[in-house]
Amino acid sequence: MFVSIVLLWLCICFVVYQLKPRRPKNFPPGPPVLPVLGNLLHLTFENPLKDFERLRKSYGNVYSLFLGPRPAVVVNGFKAIKEAFITKGADFAGRPQDMIFKVICKSRGVVMADYGPVWKEHRRFSLMTLRNFGLGKTSMEERIHGELQYTIKTLEKSIGKTLSPQVMFHHVASNIICQVLFDTRYEYNDDFMRVFVRCVTENTKLLNGPWSILFDSFPIIRNLPLPFRKIFKNYETIADLARGNVNEHKTTRVPGEPRDFVDCYLDELDKRGDESSFSEEQLVAQLLDLHGAGTDTTSNTLLTAFLHLLSKPHIQERCQQEIDRVLEGKEQASFEDRHNMPYMQAVIHESQRIANTVPLSVFHCTIKDTELMGYSIPKGTMIIEDLSSVLNEEGQWKFPHEFNPENFLNDQGEFVKPEAFLPFSAGPRVCLGESLARMELFLILVTLLRKFKFIWPEDAGEPDFTLVFGITMTTRPYRMKVQLRSTQ
C-alpha cells in the first residue's frame, strides 16, 4: 500500500513537472512558472500595467512570462524597444498565431496580417490611397474643418451648461475617417454610427480582459459558450455594416472615377482579378482596421488633452494666446501653422504621451530566431511592447510622471520631439493612422480653443486622471463647462 502511494505521488509529480513550461536556453529571465497556468496569476487582468512595471523592476527591461503554456517576452525601455522594433524591425514584425483578434479577422487586413508580401502590398496600397485622398494635404484639412462645424454647433448649444465630451469626440474622429473610406458623414444619432461605436467600444474592453486572455492561453475552451463569444458577435456586426457599404458602392460607383477608399479598392480588384490577394473580404477587414486606427487614438487623446486643459487653466490660456497671435486675421487654422506654435505643439505631444493610448501596442512575434539585448529569442515567440515604459521613462523626460509641456520645449522655448516619443510604436508595424491623427489633433484643438473657453465645473469635485485600461486607454467619464471667448 505504501509503495503504491509513493508511486502515485511520483507519477503526479512527474506529470506536473512535464506540464510546467520551461524557458529555452539563454531566454530572458522571469518569475517562476506554474504548470498549465504559467504566469497568469502574476497579472491583474483589469489593468496589468502595474504588474508589468513591477516585473520590470525585478527582472530587467527584457523579461519573459508564460500566458498559460505560451512564452512571451516583454520589452521595456527606449534602448530595448529601439533595438527590437527599429534596428531589428523585420525580425520582430510578425503577429502571434492563434490569438483571439487574429482568429476573429482571419489574418486579413493590415493590423493582424502576417508579415510578408500580402501585408506589404495592402499596407502600401492603403498609405498610397489615403495620400491620394488628401492625407497631409489641404483637402484633408477641409474635411476636418467641415466636421468641426458640427462640433462647434454642439458646443454652442451648451454655452453656460455642462456636457460630457466622450461621445462627441469619438464621433468627430469617426466621421473624418468615414468620409475618406465611404465618402459619407453620419449624423451622431445615425444607426450605423451608434451600432459601430457601441461594438468597437465593447470590443476594445473585452479584447484586453480576462476572457480574451483565457481564449489565447487555453484552446480547449474556445468552443464553449463563454463571454469571449461576444467579441466575435460584435466584430461580425461591424463587418456586416462595412459589407453593406461595399455592396452599395458596387451599384453606384463609376469605374476609374473613385470617390473614396472603397471605390479605389474595387477598381484595383477589377484590374487584378480573382487570382490576386485583393478580395472583398480583405477590403472589409481593411476598412475596419483603418476606421479603428483613425478613431480611437484620436478621440482618447482629445479626452486626455481636454481633461488636463480643464484642470490647468494657465496652460489653456497660454495656448489661446499663442493661437490668437499666429492666427490673427486668418479665418481658420492650417496644419502648416503648427510650425509657428511651439507651445501648442508641446501641449498636443504631451497629451499623446500622457494618454498612452495603446499602452501594449499590438502584440508582435519573431519571424526568425534572433537576439535582443544579449538574449536568444526563438522564432514564433510572442513579443509584448510596453510603450508605457518608454513614455514615462526616467532619463528620457524632464518630467516623466506629470503633465508638463516643458517635456517638448528646449531652453529657448522651441518645440523638440525626443526620440522616446513613440505613442504609435515604431518600425515596419508603426500605426497606419499616425499622420491623420497628428493633423486631426492639431486642427481640432486649435479650432476649439480659439473659439471657446473650457472650464472644470464647480460642483464636479477633483479631476480624476486615472486612465481606464483597454486595447486603447481612455479617461474616466467627465463633464466640462463651455463659454464663448470674449475675443471671438
pLDDT digit string, tens, across residues 465-479: 999 887 788 899 999
Instruction: Kindly state the cell numbers that stand for 121.
Output: 502590398
Which pLDDT value is given to residue 279?
Answer: 92
What DSSP designation does 433 have? T
pLDDT exceeding 90 applies to what percent of the chain? 62
Q: Which residue has the higher pLDDT, 296 or 117?
A: 117
Which pLDDT value is given to residue 5?
Answer: 44
Which pLDDT value is given to residue 6?
Answer: 37
What DSSP designation does 40 have? G
Distance CA 34, CA 52 (A): 18
Give me the helix-helix angle, 117-132 and 261-272, nearest 10°: 130
Instruction: Kindly state the cell numbers that stand for 480.
Output: 466640462
455, 428 Cβ separation under 8 angstroms? no
384's enclosing H/E stretch is strand 382-385
Which pLDDT value is given to residue 192?
Answer: 84
Mean pLDDT of 166-188: 89
By C-alpha distance, which of 193, 155, 135 is closest to 306? Answer: 155
pLDDT for residue 19 is more than 60: no
Neighbour count for residue 390 (Cβ, 10 Å): 28
- H-helix segments, 273-312: 280-293, 296-311
Which pLDDT value is given to residue 103?
Answer: 87
Band of residue 9 on the pLDDT scale cut at 50, 70, 90: very low
Distance CA 289, CA 302 (A): 20
Which pLDDT value is given to residue 266?
Answer: 94
pLDDT for residue 487 is more than 60: no
372's enclosing H/E stretch is strand 370-372
Q: Which residue has the higher pLDDT, 165 or 219?
A: 165
Give 293-322 pLDDT, tens digit per residue: 778 889 999 999 999 999 999 999 999 999
pLDDT for residue 324 is more than 80: yes
Provide CB contacts within 8 A for 474, sequence distance 6+.
Answer: 166, 300, 303, 467, 468
Q: Which of 11-20, 254-263, 265-274, 405-414 has the highest mean pLDDT?
A: 405-414
Lowest mean pLDDT among 94-103, 332-341, 369-378, 402-411: 94-103
Collapsed DSSP state (helix, strand, coil) of residue 134: coil
Residue 265's Cβ-side half-sphere holds a number of Cα atoms within 13 Å equal to 31
Q: Which residue has the higher pLDDT, 317 or 221?
A: 317
Distance CA 407, CA 374 (A): 31
pLDDT for residue 488 is more than 70: no
Domains of the chain (ranges plus CATH)? 11-484 (1.10.630.10)
Backbone angles phi, psi at 25, to 5 degrees: -60, 135
364's enclosing H/E stretch is strand 364-365
Neighbour count for residue 402 (Cβ, 10 Å): 13
Residue type, position 58, single letter? S
Which pLDDT value is given to residue 352?
Answer: 97
pLDDT for residue 208 is more than 90: no
Which pLDDT value is given to residue 428?
Answer: 92
pLDDT for residue 94 is more than 90: yes
pLDDT for residue 277 is more than 60: yes
Give the largest Cα separation in the chain, rounded. 97
Backbone angles phi, psi at 395, to 5 degrees: 95, -20
Backbone angles phi, psi at 61, to 5 degrees: -75, -15
pLDDT for residue 219 is more than 90: no
- CA angle 371/377/381 to nearest 5° reads 140
Q: Which of 86-100, 178-192, 394-408, 457-471 has the highest mean pLDDT?
A: 394-408
Which pLDDT value is given to residue 76?
Answer: 97
Neighbour count for residue 177 (Cβ, 10 Å): 23
Distance CA 257, CA 176 (A): 21
Distance set, CA 180 to CA 19, 176, 250, 259, 297 (Å): 51, 7, 17, 9, 17
Distance CA 389, CA 56 (A): 9
Distance CA 418, CA 401 (A): 16
Band of residue 3 on the pLDDT scale cut at 50, 70, 90: very low
Give me the helix-helix angle, 313-326 and 434-451, nearest 10°: 90
Lowest mean pLDDT among 137-151, 321-335, 372-386, 395-409: 137-151
Distance CA 303, CA 354 (A): 11
Q: β-pairing, 467-468 with 375-377?
A: unpaired
Band of residue 47 on the pLDDT scale cut at 50, 70, 90: confident
Distance CA 71, CA 366 (A): 12
Which pLDDT value is given to residue 394?
Answer: 94
Which pLDDT value is given to residue 254?
Answer: 92
pLDDT for residue 136 is more than 70: no
Residue type, position 427, single letter? G
Which pLDDT value is given to residue 210?
Answer: 76
Mean pLDDT of 14-26: 61
